[in-house]
Amino acid sequence: MPESAEEVYARVVAQVGEDGHLPMPPMGDWDIFPWVVVDGEIAPRSLRPPSDEEPRWGESPDKPCGSCAGFDPDTVVWEDDVWVLTHHGKPSGLPLVLTLHPRDHLDLGELTDDQASQLGRITNRLVRIVENLPNIGRVHTMRIGDGGSHLHQWFVARTARLTHVLGSPTLDWDDVLPPGPEHVWRADLRTVAEKLANWGGQGGS
């Protein structure tokens, strides 16, 4: 069962106190991060002039596709003949962060109608499964795809009633909040795998 808002909050307070600040994630290394501190105030970063787009992973010989090289079996939550659902190897700040990939090297916009239909059905089931876990408020799902050209759709679960963690900044909190217990995270992954496998495919190792 995912942790409650009270359990997450208590862990943060134990680390930094009630009004304390958690450690800064390495956003200073992200030159795409849009905010910067100027004279003690947060301000939008200066906009760089236009330039050529960088090739994404899988679009250049020196940037091979990691997904086509094979999914690490230790990260596979569920799979069938066409799709693979993975996690990122260890707990992070949010209760569950999963990505769904086609086995073939395809991006969104390149799927057949059948593949697109499968993606829609799996998305709908997965959101229902995770949102029905105790203490989960919502699952945000998105495809960004600016880094890798092999489709990877995100499923980002947030804790119910932890109402500071809301909306599109939820993903930033994943790097800020201290990760929860690994045994809780693994039990939730097993529940997701079992419930998805009720429709088809199989859970990972």
Residue span binding Zn ion (CB under 5 A) among the ranges 26-34, 49-57, 118-126, 149-157:
149-157
Six-digit token string for 142: 């998105």
Could you tell me the end-to-end alpha-carbon distance of the chain, in angstroms, rounded to an integer? 20
Beta carbon of residue 72, minimum distance to Zn ion (angstroms, whole number)? 14
Which one, 66 or 200, has the nearer CB to Zn ion?
66
Q: How far apart are CA 145 and CA 56, in angstroms?
A: 8
Which one, 65 or 197, has the nearer CB to Zn ion?
65
Distances (CA, A) of 105 to 65, 69, 108, 134, 151: 8, 10, 10, 35, 8
Q: How far apart are CA 13 and CA 164, in angstroms?
A: 14
Q: Using CB under 5 A as the criterion, what x/- string covers residues 62-91 for binding Zn ion?
A: ---x-xx-----------------------
Q: How far apart are CA 67 and CA 162, in angstroms?
A: 34
Q: How far apart are CA 159 and CA 118, in angstroms?
A: 27
Q: Using CB under 5 A as the criterion, what x/- string covers residues 93-132 for binding Zn ion?
A: ------------x---------------------------
Beta carbon of residue 57, minimum distance to Zn ion (angstroms, whole number)? 8
Site size toward Zn ion (CB under 5 A) is: 6
Positions in the binding site for Zn ion (CB under 5 A): 58, 65, 67-68, 105, 150
